[in-house]
Amino acid sequence: MIGVAVFIAFLGAAAVLAWSSEPIAIKEPPPRRDSEPAPSSPFVDLVPIPGGSFQMGSPEDEVGRYETEGPVHWVTISPFACARYPVTRRLYSQIMETDPGWPEGETNDRPVNNVSWKNAVAFCNELSQREGLPPCYKIEGEKVTWNRATDSFRLLTEAEWEYSCRAGSTTRWSFGDDEDRLAKHAWYEANSNGKPQPVGKKEPNPWGLHDMHGNVYEWCWDRFGPYAEAAEPVPAGPEQGDDHVLRGGAFDFPAGALRSAVRVGGQPTLRVGGVGFRCARGPSL
């Protein structure tokens, strides 16, 4: 089990835990567009996410706010497709022919964990190739570049992740502000029995995505860094920085760490029991 203090110790100087309180407003919450189906995949259940604009970050008067959560800024998201669930140990093993997950000997529909950011991008490339798609990422030693002209499997950007997690909501969690309701939507320290749990067993958010809150933190594409002050169209994070963004909270973290705006940064080689990822596709930018 990786507790709060232990997880932060793993990240050490390479991580920042940012807590948010009241979440930000979204402009004209976009509806689900079921008439625009997501790309089909034999491996991943993809959900169409509508484009829209929202305010990312947290205001300065939020209780417990860290400076890394601001400034609040407008972000525009293009339509894309998001995996309904985090990548499971079963799927990871099927695609990569190895199971790094913990607890050992439980290869199943629990989210894969003990995977680094580099493991996650390599998985996305391999999954794309399995489906006859060109890989999104060019991996040259320590350098990874994203070819945005492709419509293949990839990690979510941090902005896409928060936008998808909120699903039009403006509350602490996608279901509201009442912490007593969290157990219906998330695996966290109060109900997880100290380990990741099978995906899809808790209620989804309004856009049909499961486990956005809790179970495992999810790697995003972006490097961890300050937010921009100006409005950003389809941002992909800062160009420089050692850490990459993790979102969503984990099975052994308290309720506050699972809120929609919480940010964590970790080294791309970090592998711990509370970290996994999910995939996305499109659009070509």
Residue 63 clears pLDDT 70, i.e. is over it = no
- Per-residue confidence (pLDDT) for residue 230, from 0 to 100: 67
Residue 8 clears pLDDT 70, i.e. is over it = no
Q: Bridge partners of 280? A: 82, 154
Residue 224 clears pLDDT 60, i.e. is over it = yes
Please tell me the total count of domains within the chain.
Answer: 1
How far, in Å, CA of 258 to CA of 146, rounded?
28
Residue 265 clears pLDDT 80, i.e. is over it = yes
Question: Which residue segment(s) compose the domain that 249 sits in?
Answer: 4-281
Q: Place 216 in a pLDDT band, splitting at 50, 70 and 90.
A: very high
More confident residue, 276 or 59: 276
- Per-residue confidence (pLDDT) for residue 5, from 0 to 100: 37
Residue 150 clears pLDDT 80, i.e. is over it = yes
Q: Place 72 in a pLDDT band, splitting at 50, 70 and 90.
A: confident
- Per-residue confidence (pLDDT) for residue 227, from 0 to 100: 85
Residue 106 CB contacts under 8 Å (≥ 6 apart), including other chains: 89
Residue 23 clears pLDDT 50, i.e. is over it = no
- Per-residue confidence (pLDDT) for residue 17, from 0 to 100: 35
CATH number of domain containing 277 = 3.90.1580.10
